[in-house]
A and B are shown apart, each in its own frame.
Chain A
Amino acid sequence: MKTNDVILQTTTKVVFFIIFLFSIHIFFAGHYTPGGGFVGGLLTTGAIVLLLLAFDLKTVQKALPFNFTIMTAIGLLLALGTAAGAIFFNVPFFTHAFDYFTLPLFGETSLHTAIIFDAGVFLVVVGSAITIIQSIGGDS
């Protein structure tokens, strides 16, 4: 089915980046205010779904040339790696570490291993959701 909806397509090009940036914000804000990897991932998924609705599957695949199955795997490895990494510091599995640093540009910031775990969650959510959507949508 060939769609040629100029208004939707033009708006999507702008809105996609807004949603995507918002999802990144939500992802990083997660530890202190509402948000986190799961919601962030879902928002990104929503943005990609919007692209899919406005354009067709092939165009989107060309614009975002990622293998989402591998993205899922990377996400899982990241999450598991963060959890397992604790073992090497002689603390129980899944012990997170955090500290406060003063970084240029950002001021006082807390750096937290939980964010790596959350990034894994983010990737798994995006990866598997888009894998499902692509395989169902691409099926004829």
Chain B
Amino acid sequence: MEFVLLIFLPIVAALFIPLLFRKIKGIHTGWFVLAVPVVLFIYYTTFIKTTMDGGHALSELQWIPSLGISFVSYLDGLSILFSLLITGIGALVVLYSIFYLDKNKEKLGNFYVYLLLFMSAMLGVVQSDNVISLYLFWELTSISSFLLIGYWFTRDGSRFGALKSMMVTVFGGLMMLGGFILLGIMGGTFSIRELIAQSSTFVGHEFFTLALVLILLGAFTKSAQFPFYIWLPDAMEAPTPVSAYLHSATMVKAGLYLVARFTPIFAASEVWIWLVTGIGLLTLFWGSLFAVKQTDLKAILAFSTVSQLGLIMSLLGAGAITFHVDEALFSFAMFAAIFHLINHATFKGSLFMIAGIVDHETGTRDIRKLGGLMSIMPVSFTVAFIGSMSMAGLPPFNGFLSKEMFLQSMLAIRHFELFNFSTWGVVFPVVAWIASVFTFIYSFYFVFKTFAGKQKIGKLPRKPHEAPFGMLISPVILAMLVVTIFFIPNVVGKWLVKPAVMAIQPYQYSHPSEVGVHVSAWHGFDSPELWLTVGIVLIGGLLYLSLSKWQKFYGIQPDTLSLNALYDTTMMFSEKGMNRLSRIYMTGLIRTYLLYIFAFLSVTTIAMLFLQDAFAVDMSSFSKISAYGLINAVILLLAVAFVLLSKTRLGAIISLGAVGYSVALFFVIFKAPDLALTQLVIETVSVALFLLAFQHLPKLSDHGEKKSHKFVNAIIALGVGVTVTLVALSSHSQKLVQSISQYYKDTVETEAGGGNIVNVILVDYRGFDTLFEIAVLAIAGIGVLGMIKLRLARKESSDENK
């Protein structure tokens, strides 16, 4: 089977969702949706066997072959891992949403359409081998994320957050497209596999570093790295299932996927290792530092996601070191990156779901109002505890294993000697350790401020109770995974992680079993990671206990000096500045716009005519001037003069009709009956239209125009007249290519079965033109109807931002 088509399965399913939502009221629409990710998940698990052997599967669908653009589904270890995450977490999130979103109150039709759209887009991103279709899916994830964040579009925060995420991620996406095109120019292909195969020739190419930076911009904006992370906290306005799915488990990991996928191409570069490791580590530190400042449950999780994404990013950067030095010391990083990616999806997904449950059952997410929920919501507490402890890096949870490997990899950087790492390398483990301390603090902060301490039930908007069974299924499954992975890390490693690592580092491994990493929880008392972890627990514990004393220091930072303020000012400036700029030339008068159009037209055309030396007159093929033609021309000129001189609108309209009729007469004289017929009818109808609308028009006014205006108008009118005459003469006098009319004459009978060439051109030869013309005509008609019936101009209050 062509499994590339499966990428589109969710979109196809989305087509039926609005129908199901409207017609079948009794069953929650989510149950139908649930089938899609479940089926896909089961299907993709069948590929694990292939990827475990280091193989891959390929399926292709041609799209625009002439430009080398196609949909290619390339399933190797990395793609399969992500596909399983997308469909697996997707299934759990859909299940959770069935209980989270009320089927009678919410617009489920919209919600699930967006969600399925996202699923397709995300599968497309992680499976595409063609960078152009990858870009297409990439932007589609941004768009579906925009729609999902703005799902409750009547809230200001939702609209703001949706726009912010769209602005930041689409900006990055466009930069990334630039990078892809540069890669395409360097390698002469858009296929990632082919690019990787010839990547050694790119090093030193003038575009190499530029392409690298552009692609990293795409990855950093999507994966919320510093300083682009600002969109992620605002994206928390989305319904919680969306936050759990898009903004922690899948979409924000697309940037990580991109970095991993392009590692074989860019790992040779010093800039790559520095940027990916450095920015990743900075993001880890920054996110964990500010997570403690937050008071909203979801905001804490958002900053913690930012921080964890930074952690994985820095590991991906550190993993690229193996391209330069083949030592076992450095081989941990890539394994740790993929391993932590899986772990993060499990514990962060469950934590988000718990935050949603707390919000759902108590009516608030403000951590200052919460407390002591442990006895009321025991199951939720247990799940939250497991997730948080895993996030803090404590045993016996999977986060402990990957956190130890992370510390191990950061310590190893000290021994890397190229690219100035020997001097600066020591900074990495220090920053990593401090960030881990803060990670420990916010993990405790999240779970214990909510569930332990004094009960403040009186302050809650709703009387809290344990969540319904259905809502707990998904977080409990994830929490069970968190514990299970701790006990069987090497099975997970063999099935999922090692094939993925092999896919990222094809220059080093040719079979997954060559990845010589064995995960163990105990390394002995002499391992430095153990003591680092002990330090984290001790210092972190002390700081957590004294949290109330130092948390207020976060208030020192003024709001005006933040990245958010920078974004706001930029947006305000561009909106207001552009508004001011366009007000300079937009006068609201059609006559002004006509002046621009005509002036531009005549100046550019005449300039091109003389620059290209295209002007030529050949009198030999001109027709003779007949008496009828002469008389008709005089009438035409007189009518035009009347239009200009007329003092009343009625006079002008009738003279304009006379102009049209005399033009029609010219068509008759030059034997073009079709044109003459059409022109005559058009003139009649348009004069009648004028007469109909006549009584609504205001009195003729000169809108304050002076003599000098008239002079400018006259010059431009003259200019247009001269332009058209010159172009007509030139194009009549010289033929660059053979006229097509002979072809029409020859084929009109045989090919089109007609006799009247003019009409056959309209309906057959150039039917496309006609199709679009009538479409425009229909749009214009409906537009006029809409403008008159709705009277938008008089309803200023309809602007939803006012």
| A85 beta carbon closer than 8 Å to chain B | no
Interface of A is mostly: helix
| B737 beta carbon closer than 8 Å to chain A | no
The digit string for B767-795, where 1 denotes a CB below 8 A from any CB of A, is: 11011001101101110110011000000
CA distance A132 to B788 in the complex (A): 9
Interface residues of A in 48-75 (CB under 8 A from B): 49-50, 52-53, 69, 72-73, 75
* Interface-central residue, A32, A38, A112, by most chain B CB under 10 Å: A38
| B692 beta carbon closer than 8 Å to chain A | yes
| A128 beta carbon closer than 8 Å to chain B | yes
CA distance A120 to B771 in the complex (A): 9
| A39 beta carbon closer than 8 Å to chain B | yes
**B760 / chain A contacts, CB cutoff of 8 Å:** 31, 114
Q: Do A53 and B688 have beta carbons less than 8 Å apart?
A: yes
**A38 / chain B contacts, CB cutoff of 8 Å:** 678, 762, 770
**B759 / chain A contacts, CB cutoff of 8 Å:** 30-31, 34-36, 118
| B270 beta carbon closer than 8 Å to chain A | no
| B689 beta carbon closer than 8 Å to chain A | yes
**B774 / chain A contacts, CB cutoff of 8 Å:** 75-76, 79, 120-121, 124-125
| A16 beta carbon closer than 8 Å to chain B | no
**A94 / chain B contacts, CB cutoff of 8 Å:** 767-768, 771
**B619 / chain A contacts, CB cutoff of 8 Å:** none
How many A residues touch the partner, as a band?
A: 35 or more
CA distance A1 to B294 in the complex (A): 70
Q: Do B754 and A114 have beta carbons less than 8 Å apart?
A: yes
Interface residues of B in 408-425 (CB under 8 A from A): none
Q: Do B681 and A42 have beta carbons less than 8 Å apart?
A: yes
Q: Which residue of B lies closest to A125 (CB)?
A: B777
| B693 beta carbon closer than 8 Å to chain A | yes
Interface residues of B in 722-779 (CB under 8 A from A): 752-756, 758-760, 762-764, 767-768, 770-771, 774-775, 777-778
| B106 beta carbon closer than 8 Å to chain A | no
CA distance A30 to B761 in the complex (A): 11
Interface residues of A in 89-108 (CB under 8 A from B): 94, 96, 98-99
Q: Do B777 and A128 have beta carbons less than 8 Å apart?
A: yes
Q: Do B678 and A132 have beta carbons less than 8 Å apart?
A: no
Q: Do A135 and B685 have beta carbons less than 8 Å apart?
A: no
**B777 / chain A contacts, CB cutoff of 8 Å:** 124-125, 128
CA distance A36 to B764 in the complex (A): 12
Are A98 and B756 CB-contacts (below 8 A) given A128-B780, A132-B785, A136-B788? Answer: no
Q: Do B754 and A112 have beta carbons less than 8 Å apart?
A: yes
Interface residues of A in 12-52 (CB under 8 A from B): 26, 30-39, 42-43, 45-46, 49-50, 52
| A87 beta carbon closer than 8 Å to chain B | no
| Chain B proximity of A15: nearest CB distance (Å) | 13
Interface of B is mostly: helix
Are A76 and B689 CB-contacts (below 8 A) given A33-B755, A46-B681? Answer: no
| Chain B proximity of A130: nearest CB distance (Å) | 8
| B696 beta carbon closer than 8 Å to chain A | yes
Q: Do A112 and B685 have beta carbons less than 8 Å apart?
A: no
Q: Do A69 and B677 have beta carbons less than 8 Å apart?
A: no
Are A135 and B789 CB-contacts (below 8 A) given A35-B677, A52-B692? Answer: yes
Q: Do B689 and A112 have beta carbons less than 8 Å apart?
A: no
Q: Do B775 and A39 have beta carbons less than 8 Å apart?
A: no
CA distance A117 to B771 in the complex (A): 9
**B755 / chain A contacts, CB cutoff of 8 Å:** 31-33
Q: Do B693 and A45 have beta carbons less than 8 Å apart?
A: no
Partner of B785, one of A73, A98, A135: A135
| B575 beta carbon closer than 8 Å to chain A | no
Q: Do B781 and A128 have beta carbons less than 8 Å apart?
A: yes
Are A139 and B778 CB-contacts (below 8 A) given A31-B756, A33-B756? Answer: no
Partner of B681, one of A39, A75, A118, A139: A39
Q: Which residue of B lies closest to A115 (CB)?
A: B763
CA distance A31 to B775 in the complex (A): 22
Q: Do A83 and B692 have beta carbons less than 8 Å apart?
A: no
| Chain B proximity of A75: nearest CB distance (Å) | 7
| Chain B proximity of A48: nearest CB distance (Å) | 9
**B692 / chain A contacts, CB cutoff of 8 Å:** 52, 133, 136-137
Q: Do B682 and A69 have beta carbons less than 8 Å apart?
A: no
Are A131 and B782 CB-contacts (below 8 A) given A35-B759, A125-B774? Answer: yes
CA distance A37 to B767 in the complex (A): 12
| Chain A proximity of B766: nearest CB distance (Å) | 10
* Interface-central residue, B693, B696, B778, by most chain A CB under 10 Å: B778
CA distance A133 to B692 in the complex (A): 8
Are A114 and B764 CB-contacts (below 8 A) given A39-B674, A132-B689, A136-B692? Answer: yes
Are A39 and B685 CB-contacts (below 8 A) given A132-B784, A135-B788? Answer: no
Q: Do B674 and A136 have beta carbons less than 8 Å apart?
A: no
| Chain B proximity of A24: nearest CB distance (Å) | 14
| A80 beta carbon closer than 8 Å to chain B | yes
**A114 / chain B contacts, CB cutoff of 8 Å:** 752, 754, 760, 763-764
**A127 / chain B contacts, CB cutoff of 8 Å:** 778, 781
**A132 / chain B contacts, CB cutoff of 8 Å:** 689, 780-781, 784-785
15 contacts between A and B (CB under 8 A): A30-B756, A32-B755, A34-B756, A35-B674, A36-B674, A69-B782, A75-B778, A96-B763, A98-B753, A114-B764, A127-B781, A128-B781, A132-B689, A135-B784, A137-B693
- 7 other contacts beyond A42-B682, A72-B778, A132-B780, with CB at 8 A cut-off? A34-B677, A37-B763, A46-B681, A49-B684, A96-B767, A114-B752, A128-B781
Chain B residues within 8 Å of A, Cβ to Cβ: 673-674, 677-678, 681-682, 684-685, 688-689, 691-693, 696, 752-756, 758-760, 762-764, 767-768, 770-771, 774-775, 777-778, 780-782, 784-785, 788-789
Top 9 A-B pairs, shortest CB-CB distance: A128-B781, A32-B755, A98-B753, A36-B759, A34-B673, A42-B681, A124-B774, A131-B781, A31-B754
